[in-house]
Amino acid sequence: MRRFIQMPPQLFRIFLLAVGIVTVYLIARYFLTPASFGQYGWYRGEALAELAARQPIYAGKKACEECHSDEYQKLIKHEHKTLSCEGCHGPGQAHADNPRKDNIAKSSFAACLRCHEANPSRPKFLKQISVKTHYTGSKCTECHVPHMPLEVP
C-alpha cells in the first residue's frame, strides 16, 4: 500500500484526477438516470406512458354506435359496412364527449366523390363515376342513401 502511494508524484496526481472524474461521473449517473430507465430496455420506460397519455381525436365507430345505433345498424348491414363514421363525418371525439350539433361535420358531396370519382389507378371492385357525365344535379343524396347505398330514397 505504502509503496503504491509512493509512486512518482506526477503519476499520482493523474491517478487522483482520474479517480475524481470517475467519481463525479458515477455520482451524476446515480442522480440523473431516470427511475424508469431500463424498465423495458435501454431507454426511459416512462416515455411509453407519456406517449400514450395524449387524448384521441377520432373516437372510433363504437363510440358512435352508443347513441346512433339506428344509423349504425343501417350502415353495417349494407354495402358501406366497412366504412368508418368518421371517414365522412370528420373526427368525432369532441362530439362524443359533448354531443352537440355544431361540433360534428355534416357529410357532403365531396365525401362521396373522394372515393367514387373515376380514376384509372383505382381497383376494379370499386364503383366509380365521372361526375361530369354521371349527374349534373347538386346532391348525390337525391338518388342515393349514403348509409344504404343500394337502396332508393
Partner 1 sequence: MSNQFSRRSVLGKIGATLAGLIAAPAAKAAKTVVQKEFVTSGAPKGYDPTQHKWRMAIDANRCIGCGLCAEACKTENHVPAGPYFRTWIERYIITKPKAGSGEARGEVFVDCPDGGMHGFPEPPVPKEEIQHSFFVPKLCNLCEHSPCTQVCPVGATFDAPDGAVLIDPTYCIGCGFCIQACPYGCRFLSPITKTAEKCTLCYHRITRGLKPACVEVCPTQARIFGDLKHPVPDDPLQQFYQNNLVLALKPHLGTEPRVFYAGIDKEVR
Q: Which residues bind partner 1 (CB under 8 A)?
A: 30-36, 40-44, 46-58, 60-61, 80, 82-84, 86-87, 91, 114-115, 117, 119-123, 125-126
DSSP code at position 68: -
- Distance of closest approach, residue 104 Cβ to partner 1, in angstroms: 14
Task: Give dist(CA 71, CA 52) in Å, integer.
Answer: 31
| Nearest-approach distance from CB 71 to partner 1, in angstroms | 16
**Do 89 and 107 meet the contact criterion of CB atoms below 8 Å apart?**
yes
CB distance 96 to 63 below 8 Å = yes
Q: Which residue's CB is nearer to partner 1, number 26 or number 67? A: 26
Whichever of 34 and 99 has its CB closer to partner 1, that residue is 34
Tell me if residue 8 falls in helix, strand or coil: coil
Nearer to partner 1, 77 or 122 (CB): 122
